[in-house]
Structure 1
Amino acid sequence: MFGFSTAGLLSRTQSTAIRGSVICGGKRFGTVRLELWDKDRTDPDDLMMKPVKISYGDTFTLEGKENELTTIDPELRIIHNCGYENERCLKKSIVLISDEYVTDGPIPKKLFRAGTIDLRKMKSTDTKECN
């Protein structure tokens, strides 16, 4: 017997874009890693683009796409050491991107303007990993 799944046939390509800059309490030196993810409820999250590194204070623009049955739930994950400069720890801060900035098709038609993201002022949803 051959199995057949319609999930691949029913999914659609969706995309999003985000622009902003990242600081650490006014500090504008050092680097952060930016990752654009589709947060999934029932299966592993999907990386929507290759991670990039930027310096604090630099402006970034990220675009990503993913195939899903339902509307994607994009989020920007910022991997950094803001607040842990003297430790071997990295923190993950998350910026949610609203559904209104999700576009059908592989090229985003709307841009989420995040502004300046101060990692010192992020909410306590951050997670921390130490070696």
Structure 2
Amino acid sequence: MKVLICIALLVCGVTAFRTQSTGVKGRLLCGTKPAVGVNLKLFDEDNGPDPDDVLDQKTTDSDGNFLLTGSSMELTPIDPELRIFHDCNDQADPCQREWVIRIPAKYITNGPEVKEIMDLGVLNLEVELENESRSCAH
């Protein structure tokens, strides 16, 4: 009987987790030129002891364009964010500038396939964000 109860609890726990997906696209500039080869990571930001999950990572193409999509199996809603690591307008400071852009919940899809991708449009990386940080290891 105890074995059956344990199996039932295990099955219920596993089915409570659900796959959720998200995506983001856009174009990055550094001034008037495409920001080529900029490192981008799409994360599910997790609080507590669970480390952040990398959903996708890429670099911008020769025109500064990017598209990242990914999914994660979680019990609670995912907290997606795009992290952009760049050297635009950097003045040779150590490490890279890091921008963090949160993806709104309306761009989270239940299931492994993204239904609506957030379009950031064109962003100029020369801008200095008030809450940006620096990252040496990414």
Aligned-partner residue type, residue 15 of structure 2: L
Could you tell me whether the CA contact under 8 Å between 1:38 and 1:72 is conserved in 2?
A: yes
Q: Deviation of residue 92 (structure 1)?
A: 1.1
Encode CA deviations 1:61-101: one digit per residue, 9 max, x unaligned. Answer: 11110111111111111111112253442111111110000
- In 2, Cα distance between equivalents of 1:44 and 1:65: 15
- In 1, Cα distance between equivalents of 2:118 and 2:32: 23
Q: CA RMSD in A?
A: 2.4
Number of matched pairs: 129
Aligned equivalent of 1:46, options 39, 50, 53: 53
- In 1, Cα distance between equivalents of 2:35 and 2:123: 15
Q: Which structure 2 residue ranges, 5 or more long, are not aligned? A: none
Aligned equivalent of 1:78: 84
Structure having the higher helix fraction is 2
TM-score, normalised by the number of residues in structure 1: 0.83
Q: Which structure 1 residue ranges, 5 or more long, are not aligned? A: none
- In 2, Cα distance between equivalents of 1:103 and 1:20: 19
* 4+ aligned runs moved over 3 Å, structure 1: 2-9
Q: How many percent of aligned residue pairs carry the same amino acid?
A: 33
* Pair member with larger Rg: 2
